[in-house]
């Protein structure tokens, strides 16, 4: 069974042969760790890095402009980003619509030329997706991280946006419609190009609770989500939604939008809560802890965490995948333990 077939079986609860596992190395890691040590770890774990070749040297990979330290980046919406460490996504430090007066002459980017963060050649995207299909790989596309709620925050500023929602500011609905229209066009481009999976990533949660009230989510954000996701479902593509943070009070509303895969964090939301409320209702893409056990725990504790999560949330029928994002600071012994545990428990139900 190919990785593509196995992924789709996991999403559709059709008895995959293994639990899909992704180990993502943030670009900042190639400046923090010894590159040769990271390459040795990748070479030793072919299930996590099936296409790895020792000739690849990721420390020299180019960074996205919003990941470059010391150089502010203005995205196509006019939001100014800044980061202090190469490889780490920056924060928006200047909001083009902080004053509603600027909205009168404001124009959205052109979705035929950009995805909202970077220029896009849609013909090249379609060619890449055809190449992936010919090679038996999964064809993925999606909106940039921060496509709807966060984009409104980037444009207005967080405090302004929350007050807009509380005050029912009339311009907010017009701005939301502008953002949604842009996103709809990007989604259409990916579907026309042949994407099998569409990802919709943005963070809605904080360490405790969501960044906006459930009532405001239902009024201002959920309707847009529903309209964005509907054509993806009609096309038969997989809808993958991601959010960091505590989204327990929003999870049921997110599922009501029509989601195939929900990527959420494990310990912030609670593995037992996830099992009680989400298991069997949606394919869970579990984001493995980056705050406590994997950073400060022992290899044995890391192995125990993954085993318990797979045993609690997994099933021979499918409905579980897992992802870990490596950032600077995790001891290499723990990195090795994570890779070994992810490969070991991928076949837990085999």
**Per-residue DSSP letters for 182-243?**
HHHHHHHHHHHHT-SEEEEE---B-SSSBSS-HHHIIIIIHHHHHHHHHHHHHTT-EEEEE-
Q: For residue 121, what pLDDT is reported?
A: 98
Burial class (CB in 10 A: 0-12, 13-18, 19+), 167: exposed
Q: In what order do the strands lie in the sheet with 91-94?
A: 73-74, 80-82, 91-94
Q: For residue 86, what pLDDT is reported?
A: 92
Strand ranges, E, within 109-150: 140-142
Calculate ∠ Cα 22-25-30, nearest 5°.
Answer: 160
Q: For residue 50, what pLDDT is reported?
A: 87
Report the alpha-carbon distance of residue 56 to residue 285 in Å, rounded.
Answer: 28
Q: For residue 62, what pLDDT is reported?
A: 79
Q: For residue 55, what pLDDT is reported?
A: 46
Q: pLDDT 10s per residue in the chain (350 long)?
A: 899 999 999 999 999 999 999 999 999 999 999 999 999 999 999 999 987 655 455 555 679 999 999 889 999 999 999 999 999 999 999 999 999 999 999 999 999 999 999 999 999 999 999 999 999 899 999 999 999 999 999 999 999 999 999 999 999 999 999 999 999 999 999 999 999 999 999 999 999 999 999 999 999 999 999 999 999 999 999 999 999 999 999 999 999 999 999 999 999 999 999 999 999 999 999 999 999 999 999 999 999 999 999 999 999 999 999 999 999 999 999 999 999 999 999 999 86
Report the alpha-carbon distance of residue 241 to residue 260 in Å, rounded.
Answer: 8
Q: For residue 1, what pLDDT is reported?
A: 87
Q: For residue 195, what pLDDT is reported?
A: 97
Q: Cβ(144)–Cβ(116) under 8 Å?
A: yes
The fold of 3-64+97-346 is TIM Barrel (3.20.20)
Q: For residue 24, what pLDDT is reported?
A: 96
For the chain, the domains span: 3-64+97-346
Report the alpha-carbon distance of residue 223 to residue 212 in Å, rounded.
Answer: 15
Q: Cβ(164)–Cβ(156) under 8 Å?
A: yes
Q: For residue 223, what pLDDT is reported?
A: 98
Give the residue from 253, 232, 110, 120 showing the smallest Cα distance to 178: 110
Report the alpha-carbon distance of residue 160 to residue 97 in Å, rounded.
Answer: 10
Give the residue from 324, 320, 316, 318 showing the smallest Cα distance to 342: 324
């Amino acid at each position: 069974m190919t990785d593509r077939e196995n992924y789709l079986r996991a999403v559709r609860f059709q008895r995959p042969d293994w639990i899909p596992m992704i180990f993502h190395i943030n670009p900042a890691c190639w400046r923090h760790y010894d590159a040769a040590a990271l390459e040795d770890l990748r070479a030793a774990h072919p299930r996590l890095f099936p296409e790895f070749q020792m000739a690849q040297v990721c420390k020299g990979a180019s960074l996205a402009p919003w990941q470059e330290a010391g150089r502010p980046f203005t995205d196509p919406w006019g939001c100014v980003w800044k980061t202090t460490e190469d490889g780490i996504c920056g924060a928006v430090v200047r909001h083009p619509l902080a004053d509603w007066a600027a909205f009168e002459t404001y124009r959205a980017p052109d979705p035929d030329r950009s995805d909202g963060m970077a220029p896009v050649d849609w013909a090249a995207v379609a060619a890449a997706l055809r190449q992936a299909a010919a090679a038996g790989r999964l064809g993925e596309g999606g909106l940039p991280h921060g496509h709807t709620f966060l984009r409104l925050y980037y444009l207005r500023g967080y405090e302004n946006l929350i007050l807009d929602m509380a005050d029912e500011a009339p311009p907010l609905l017009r701005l939301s419609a502008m953002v949604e229209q842009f996103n709809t066009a990007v989604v259409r481009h990916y579907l026309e190009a042949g994407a099998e999976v569409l990802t919709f990533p943005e963070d809605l949660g904080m360490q405790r609770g969501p960044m906006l009230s459930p009532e405001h989510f239902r009024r201002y954000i959920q309707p847009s989500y529903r309209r964005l996701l509907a054509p993806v479902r009609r096309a038969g593509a997989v809808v993958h939604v991601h959010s960091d943070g505590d989204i327990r009070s929003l999870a049921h509303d997110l599922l009501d939008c029509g989601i195939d895969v929900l990527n959420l964090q494990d310990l912030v939301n609670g593995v037992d809560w996830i099992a009680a409320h989400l298991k069997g209702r949606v394919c869970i893409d579990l984001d493995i802890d980056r705050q406590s056990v994997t950073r400060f725990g022992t290899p044995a504790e890391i192995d125990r965490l993954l085993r318990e999560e797979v045993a609690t949330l997994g099933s021979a029928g499918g409905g579980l995948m897992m992802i870990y994002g490596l950032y600077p600071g995790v001891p290499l012994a723990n990195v090795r333990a994570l890779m070994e545990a992810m490969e070991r428990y991928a076949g837990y139900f085999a």
